[in-house]
Structure 1
């Protein structure tokens, strides 16, 4: 919210992209770090947690962000919108609904990948969970910096761009699913494609919503959108876990690919197609 208030519109997508990069990195690096602690000994766990807490406290205490005053700012009374009404806009607001569904599905795939890759890699002859997570994390970092200026920051719905991103997500999940047959090459290609998709989806949808949502309750609605993203990551483990138990990890990742393909259709909006 602070980035939205502090940055001009033309730089908003870059700011959100870099911010979300650092919000995603713990979720990507965390399993890799946990794997190392698990293999190296749980004695390191307390040391790592204390170091993270101290570093976060020092940075948070010293960080400052100034807000640019806007002529269109409303007073506090006008900004008080009922929470029940805000929840209803998840369905009644077409822009928020579309973005929330896309983000929810994408986050389910991200959550399933992050949760079950360490277990799935044990079934592969040459696949390594640590290498997969490092490739995905490295791709996210590289793509966020390399593509940050390509993310639309004009408040228009770019259907081809978003549909291509969801296609990358679906392809990544299918590559991971096929790696039990195709080998480690598909496993690691899936990590790269997943990293690209993860680097693009969240900042693209968030930036779009900052332009189209009503300013009077924009922060509340953005909070709901972010909550949908967090919900999806949790559901990735909760829902996909039983599916993997009853079938297999490969089949579960194939379902993730199908969900990604269905979202491609959902992302198409004939009235708001913008190319470039």
Structure 2
């Protein structure tokens, strides 16, 4: 299919938007809910980071299950478990919050890996970059309104009412997803002919398939950049509130509006032929570094707006560009596993933005934490540059030589 706007594709994007609407609302209000239950910065970092950490661990498992059983069953079961897990927020207990966040990390691993493979299967290779960009856009559209609505609701409604509403909403999403799954063709693993007979024939064998340089270095770049993004999402609202500033809603609104517009406009410029996306990768990492660094220098409205624009552009292009690049480099028989590993790297980075950067903020300061995130984005740029040089010198990617 060469139409990324077909009715079936729009249904996939719609269920994704609804799912992530809840995800972003929980992400924004749970730290405040945890404070009422006696949490400090360290505990908040652990609770919020648990989701991405669990997701990271389960990504390869999710990919392997999808490779074996197909996407349809995984998709439905993930939505069901997500609905059940939201009931755990009805009891204000920090240990229970951590458990629920872990379960939701597992759900996120299975849901997003399944949805990205569903998107790939819906479209031809020529349209894959656009389809994945639009799917990624669907995951971010809720962040244009979800965090803002959540921050407003916390001032008007008791937390139990908010989470009760989210639970009811998730039930509706499950029913929508169940209806959509019945329209999908069963997705099966690759034919046996595509699987190498010799398990020791190198990086495309069963045992060595994860050793692909493209996969490993792309994952490393995504991990480093995601640390800064995770730290901003987890701690910027708390930092601003401690400074007596009410700009969190403004920052996230600007960042996500820029992200949505850039991801939509930039989807046609992401290579969909397997070539190295250097013209997108390096400017995106530079902007991500600058966006995080300036948050460590000032909290004026102008600086916050500039950081939101830089980060919005950077993360709008970085993830779909690298995901598309990786999707062309992995063999079909292990596609779910390897794409799961790449997405897991992004999850691990986001998780470390809470787990590792929380202690940095506690031991030093929030500005030091943001500056550290910016330095990690610069390091990701150097990793990407080294990857580009090696690939060019080995003659394995002629396209990279011209970037």
Aligned 8 A contact 1:160 1:274 in 2: no
TM-score by length of 1: 0.86
Aligned partner (choices 185, 195, 198) of residue 302 of structure 2: 185
Aligned 8 A contact 1:136 1:195 in 2: yes
Aligned to 2:235: 116
Aligned partner (choices 171, 184, 192) of residue 290 of structure 2: 171
Deviates more, 1:113-122 or 1:125-134: 125-134
1:8 aligns with 2:117: no
Question: Equivalent residue of 2:297, what SS?
Answer: helix
Aligned partner (choices 337, 341, 344) of residue 220 of structure 1: 337
TM-score by length of 2: 0.60
How many angstroms does 1:175 deviate by?
Answer: 2.0
Aligned 8 A contact 2:119 2:132 in 1: yes
For residues 1-276 of structure 1, the aligned pairs below 5 Å read 1-26=117-142, 30-42=146-158, 44-63=161-180, 64-66=183-185, 73-75=190-192, 78=195, 90=210, 92-124=211-243, 128-180=247-299, 183-268=300-385, 269-270=388-389, 271=392, 272=397, 273=400, 275=402
Aligned to 2:20: none
**Unaligned residue ranges in structure 2 (runs of 5+):** 1-116, 200-204
Aligned 8 A contact 2:286 2:381 in 1: yes
Aligned residues: 268
**Unaligned residue ranges in structure 1 (runs of 5+):** none
The change in CA–CA distance for 1:44 and 1:68 in structure 2 (over 3 A counts) is closer
Aligned 8 A contact 1:11 1:153 in 2: yes
How many angstroms does 1:34 deviate by?
Answer: 3.3
| Structure 1: distance between partners of 2:287 and 2:251 | 17
The change in CA–CA distance for 1:142 and 1:51 in structure 2 (over 3 A counts) is farther
| Structure 2: distance between partners of 1:274 and 1:207 | 19
| Structure 1: distance between partners of 2:162 and 2:207 | 39
Aligned 8 A contact 1:89 1:96 in 2: no
Deviates more, 1:246-255 or 1:263-272: 263-272
The change in CA–CA distance for 1:179 and 1:52 in structure 2 (over 3 A counts) is farther
The change in CA–CA distance for 1:17 and 1:67 in structure 2 (over 3 A counts) is farther
CA RMSD in angstroms, aligned pairs only = 2.9
How many angstroms does 1:4 deviate by?
Answer: 1.5
| Structure 2: distance between partners of 1:44 and 1:74 | 49
How many angstroms does 1:23 deviate by?
Answer: 2.5
| Structure 1: distance between partners of 2:272 and 2:358 | 37
Structure 1 runs (4+) greater than 6 angstroms displaced: 85-88
